[in-house]
Amino acid sequence: MKRIDQKRIDETLALIKSSEKEGAGNERIKTIVNRLLEDLFNAMADLDITSEEMWKACDWLTQTGKNNEYGLVFAGLGIEKFMDVQMDWEDEQAGIENKTPRTIEGPLYVAGSPESTSYATLETEPEPNGERLFMSGVVRDEKGNPIPNAKVEIWHCNLKGLYSHFDSSQPEFNLRRAINVVEDGKYEFKSFVPVGYACPPNGSTDTLMQLLGRHGARPAHIHFFVTAPGYRKLTTQINIEGDPLTFDDFAFATRPELVPHIERISAEDAAKYGKDEAFAKINFDFNMVHEIANAAPGENHRSHATA
Ligand code: MBD
Ligand code: FE
């Protein structure tokens, strides 16, 4: 049922379009905004959206901006996932096989993490109650050969599910590091097994999720950017095996290839691994592909917080 006839919708769209000065503005932006307006007006008519509902939407959008939650909304509505689906499809068309799949970045990366060679301790401030974790692996090319000059950037949350920088109670760059690998392509880091994340309670995203009959939680995960000269930037995550939300992620980031086995090593066996305490162990290689023209780009120039 249209609340208004199509002619009025089209006349209004034409009126708005007619106000554009010829040769002025940005053609790409005009095309996109005009199309989105057309879809919106038609939805308003089709769904009988009231002016009261439209002003509620305006208020929600205003509040979402004030809360700095748009990145979270993009994740929660599956918009960020859809961008991955588009890029996966582009890769498939170009015949590119991603042995390590991409998955969403999320809104909580901070540029400029402390750098080290081959190994890093992620805790700036030791987490007394954490389960010790050592994660290691090799950055490899399409043939499985190590990439000698790759950089692995890592970030994860603390045991409260909070990320440094966005949580001012943590020291700068806590649980954020960058590892430069050498000839063997190997990286290793020491940290603790993180927990899941939940959207700020009763914030814009959480409120929207509740209204959609959904939750705003993520399973425990660790984020990565893997970069190397000549290779396409890889944005991905791994999940902590066994988390009950593994395949119920509000941001739709989980992929079966990104849930590596987590092994528990007892204190007695730790010495065999050159460690002095019980620990959880994850082994995971990052397989990169070369930068290829006409395939999905790895770099999206998304803006990031800097410390
Ligand atoms: C996160 O930690 C995250 O990774 C995403 C995608 C969204 C919200 C919080
Ligand atoms: Fe995260």
pLDDT at 146 over 60: yes
State the pLDDT confidence band at 307, using cuts at 50, 70 and 90.
confident
The mean pLDDT value for 152-181 works out to 98
Of these residues, 132, 177, 221, 255, which one is catalytic? 221
Which of the ligands is closest to the CA of residue 154? 2
Active site residue 197: yes
pLDDT band of residue 155 (cuts 50, 70, 90) is very high
Reply yes or no on whether the pLDDT at 298 is more than 80. Answer: yes
Residue 4: which pLDDT band, with cuts at 50, 70 and 90? confident
Mean pLDDT of the chain: 97
pLDDT for 293 equals 86
pLDDT band, very low/low/confident/very high, at 157 (cuts 50, 70, 90): very high
Structure tokens at 178: 């960058």
Torsion of CA 195, 282, 116, 100, to 10 degrees: -100
Q: Is 195 left (phi over 0), alpha (psi -120 to 50) or beta?
A: beta
pLDDT value at position 2? 61
pLDDT at 294: 83
Known catalytic residue at 163 = yes
For residues 229 and 207, give the distance between their C-alpha atoms in angstroms, rounded to a whole number: 42
Give the pLDDT mean for 47-58: 96
Consecutive H or E run containing 38: helix 27-46
What residue ranges line ligand 1, CB within 6 angstroms? 72, 75, 104, 106-108, 197, 218, 251, 253
Specify whether the CB–CB gap between 193 and 131 falls below 8 A: yes
Question: CB within 8 A of 190, min separation 6: which ones?
Answer: 119, 120, 121, 122, 123, 132, 133, 134
**Percent over 70 (pLDDT), the chain:** 99
From the CA of 173, how far away is ligand 2's center (Å)?
14
Output the CA–CA distances (angstroms, integers) from residue 167 to 19, 69, 126, in the order listed: 45, 14, 16
Question: Which bin fits 300, alpha (ψ -120 to 50), beta or left (φ > 0)?
Answer: alpha
Give the span between the Cα atoms of 289 and 271, in whole angstroms: 36
pLDDT digits (tens, 9 = 90+) for 59-99: 999 999 999 999 999 999 999 999 999 999 999 999 999 99
Known catalytic residue at 231: no
Element at 281 (helix H, strand E):
strand 279-283
Average pLDDT over residues 228-233: 98
Confidence of residue 115 (pLDDT cuts 50, 70, 90): very high
Q: Which atom of ligand 1 is nearest to the CA of 251?
A: 6
Check: CB of residue 182 under 8 Å from CB of residue 47: no
Annotated catalytic residue: which of 132, 165, 177, 223? Answer: 223
Q: What is the mean pLDDT of residues 147-158?
A: 98
Q: Is the pLDDT of residue 1 over 60?
A: no
